Chain A
Amino acid sequence: MREVVPVIEVEGLSKVFSGKTVVNQLSLRVEKGEIYGFLGPNGSGKTTFMRMLCGLLQPDAGSGTCLGHDLLSEVEQIRSRIGYMAQHFSLYDDLSVRENLDFMARIYAVPKRRQVLAETIERMGLGPFVGQLAGTLSGGWKQRLALAACLLHEPELLLLDEPTAGVDPMARRDFWEQIYSLTAQGISALISTHYMDEAERCNRVAYLAYGNLLTSGTAEEVISAAGLSVWSATGLGIQELASHLKGLPGIELTIPFGNNLHVCGTDPEQLEQSLRPFFAASRYRWEKQESGLEEVFISLMSRRLENDDG
């Protein structure tokens, strides 16, 4: 059997904007049929990385392939096989839904255009809106239209840059259902997001901060690699508790979740030792917890910042 070619494979990819390194030596591998989540704070280089993948930006260093084509020399071939959905709605507000889709289909020279158009409209449930101007659609429907537009030419890889930003939970769920059904057909997707629940829906995730890849792998791998112990305290006055805990040995992070305070550290014994005096206080109910992606990412970020300071 032939070795399976990864959908994306990049090595040491870098991009510098006027002296500032936006993407630093990024190496990444995305397999066929995978949903790959891309996380990280704003300005961490997610968008830049995606733009490099679809040839909008030229990498300053590094190499890689996308769908088996070289990133530097075979941009044209890559472009016709990927679907890129930019962060901001980037279709024409003053064209109707159908006109927008028709335009994109022509741009990609989609064969049997009418048929494909009708099928896409049907599948994405855009039927009731075909005559409406895209600018008048609501956020969720705009996003659906944008997704429909980048599916017309049956791409093998979707690059979706924060597709669900500013979209209501219902529409988000629908959107993910679409993504699942697409990946079931063998399409791969690289999705950047700020939502943790979406990160957990991905097959694998990568966490980027200030251009550096901090961690990557399946959610379980990322969590176990971080080796974080988490205690949660429930009760009133957790802000006060947080201020008491700050700076104690073994306590790396305290993250409030409503009436909950998550206390994290990498050394479980030291963490427990520092917390023991507080266990006695009846105000709080203590519970040991599995760490989630969110705690891991926050801790990675704060460790990163400490390293930069030191």
Chain B
Amino acid sequence: MVSKEFLQMRRDRITFAMMLGIPVLQMILFGFAINSDPRHLPTAILSADNSVFSRRIVAAMQNSNYFQVVKTVSRESEAKRLIDTGEVQFVLSIPEQFSRRLVRGEQPTLLLTADATDPAATSNALTAFRIFAEAALASEFRGPLSYLQGTVAPLQVTVHPRFNPEANTRYNIVPGLMGVVLTMTLVIITALAITRERERGTMENLLSTPVRPLEMMVGKIIPYIIVGYLQMGFVLLAAHYLFQVPLSGNLLLLLVVSLLFIAANLGVGLTFSTLARNQLQAMQMAFFFFLPSILLSGFMFPFRGMPRWAQYIGEVLPLTHYLRIVRGILLKGNGLTEILPNLWPIALFLLFALSIGLKRFRKTLD
């Protein structure tokens, strides 16, 4: 009995590969890629005061590993745009006459604006900032300025966590869940739907009819697009009434762009179904896709906490971009222009998945 199982296991190469591959994938993802204490978060500086002190603070931010200054902007509107599109996680605003007021002991305020849609990504950095900002300045308080040493807080730091002021993780998770639910069910369902036709032999019958491959694929996809929308509606209702997540953006826009995401997932499912020989294999492939999707997309763990290579993988996955879109629309109230940078990667992915699927899905059986 045991040897028979092993023999069958060996015959089914894909299943065998998946059995070994999935633990390896899990190990790599959990072990290397996931980091709940993200560093090097992109930060923009909006400085109205160019002084030793402000430079000192910026340098300290750089050194802290938590922040990576990627841009220096001069206008508030520009800073707002960067946060809205998610290009930067933080904007540090240094007010006018910061150094003069600091020297006078007036406890000037530094404003650190954070994109707090994902509180897990920002909380550590925010805590760290208060500490090292003061520490950085302390070393400047020498000579004539030594009177500032030891005073209670030479400066104040105001943190403005935007979009999710209460640092409510639920706000981040629930809209994200919509993407996850869509990915999970749609990929699996479509992967199974076509494999089942093949397994039961009904595919042979279908293929001998005048139906074209594109017709067949579209016919297979449409019902599940509707299912996808039902799921979305369900999650949105639950988000609003059960979890009180603010739905601040344009829902219509969300529904429209979701079509692209749903189609991308179905494309993946179809491609899997052309590769898999039975339903078990299709299921495993779907899982193989789902695992990195959920772990590397920024759903469970902050995207920016992952190492470079993992981020590159994440950028490929449609879920990553969809999460940004959903959070952007629902929490930040993004419009079309802000989500555009995340829209075309999904479209590209869809095109890619569908063309592989169609190519593999040749009408003949051989």
Q: Which chain B residues border A104 with CB–CB below 8 Å?
A: 209
| CB atoms of A54 and B208 under 8 A apart | yes
Given A17-B366, A56-B365, A58-B366, are A86 and B201 neighbors across the interface (CB < 8 Å)? yes
| CB atoms of A55 and B364 under 8 A apart | yes
Q: Which chain A residues border B78 with CB–CB below 8 Å?
A: none
| CB atoms of A108 and B205 under 8 A apart | no
| CB atoms of B208 and A107 under 8 A apart | no
A146, closest chain B residue (CB): B205
Docked Cα-Cα span, A57 to B204, in Å, equals 11
Q: Which chain A residues border B363 with CB–CB below 8 Å?
A: 55-56, 75
In terms of DSSP, what is the predominant structure of the interface of chain A?
loop
Query: B211 on the interface (CB 8 Å rule)?
Result: yes
| CB atoms of B208 and A86 under 8 A apart | yes
| CB atoms of B210 and A108 under 8 A apart | yes
| CB atoms of A57 and B205 under 8 A apart | no
| CB atoms of A56 and B210 under 8 A apart | no
A82, closest chain B residue (CB): B208
| CB atoms of B205 and A91 under 8 A apart | yes
Chain A interface residue count, Cβ-Cβ cutoff 8 angstroms: 24
| CB atoms of B202 and A107 under 8 A apart | no
Given A17-B366, A80-B210, A108-B209, are A56 and B204 neighbors across the interface (CB < 8 Å)? yes
Docked Cα-Cα span, A157 to B210, in Å, equals 15
B208, closest chain A residue (CB): A84
Docked Cα-Cα span, A71 to B199, in Å, equals 27
Docked Cα-Cα span, A307 to B364, in Å, equals 35
- Contacting A at CB under 8 A, from B227-252, are none
| B365 → A minimal CB distance (Å) | 5
Given A56-B364, A57-B366, are A79 and B209 neighbors across the interface (CB < 8 Å)? yes
Query: A282 on the interface (CB 8 Å rule)?
Result: no
Query: A76 on the interface (CB 8 Å rule)?
Result: yes
Query: A123 on the interface (CB 8 Å rule)?
Result: no
Query: A51 on the interface (CB 8 Å rule)?
Result: yes
Chain B interface residue count, Cβ-Cβ cutoff 8 angstroms: 16
Docked Cα-Cα span, A264 to B107, in Å, equals 116
Query: B200 on the interface (CB 8 Å rule)?
Result: yes
Chain A CB count within 10 A is highest, among B201, B206, B207, for B207
- Contacting B at CB under 8 A, from A123-148, are none
Docked Cα-Cα span, A88 to B202, in Å, equals 9
| CB atoms of A56 and B207 under 8 A apart | yes
| CB atoms of A88 and B210 under 8 A apart | no
Docked Cα-Cα span, A55 to B207, in Å, equals 8
Q: Which chain B residues border A58 with CB–CB below 8 Å?
A: 364, 366
Query: A185 on the interface (CB 8 Å rule)?
Result: no
| A52 → B minimal CB distance (Å) | 9
Query: A90 on the interface (CB 8 Å rule)?
Result: yes
Q: Which chain B residues border A79 with CB–CB below 8 Å?
A: 208-210
Query: A99 on the interface (CB 8 Å rule)?
Result: no
| CB atoms of B205 and A76 under 8 A apart | no
Given A56-B208, A79-B208, are A90 and B366 neighbors across the interface (CB < 8 Å)? no
Q: Which chain A residues border B202 with CB–CB below 8 Å?
A: 90-92
Other-chain contact of B211, A17, A86, A107 (Cβ < 8 Å): A107
- Interface membership of chain A positions 38-59, coded 1 if the CB is closer than 8 angstroms to chain B and 0 otherwise: 0000000000000100111110
- Interface membership of chain B positions 343-366, coded 1 if the CB is closer than 8 angstroms to chain A and 0 otherwise: 000000000000000000001111
| CB atoms of B365 and A76 under 8 A apart | no
Q: Which chain B residues border A55 with CB–CB below 8 Å?
A: 208, 363-364
Query: A89 on the interface (CB 8 Å rule)?
Result: yes
| CB atoms of A88 and B211 under 8 A apart | no
B365, closest chain A residue (CB): A56
Given A84-B205, A88-B201, A92-B202, are A51 and B210 neighbors across the interface (CB < 8 Å)? no
In order of increasing CB-CB distance, the 8 nearest A-B pairs are A90-B205, A84-B208, A80-B210, A88-B201, A90-B201, A79-B210, A86-B204, A54-B208
Can you list 11 pairs linking A and B with CB atoms under 8 Å apart?
A: A54-B208, A56-B207, A57-B364, A79-B209, A84-B205, A84-B208, A86-B205, A90-B203, A90-B204, A91-B202, A92-B200
Q: List residues of chain B with CB under 8 Å of any chain A CB.
A: 200-211, 363-366
Given contacts A76-B210, A79-B209, 4 further A-B contacts (CB under 8 A): A17-B366, A55-B363, A86-B208, A90-B202
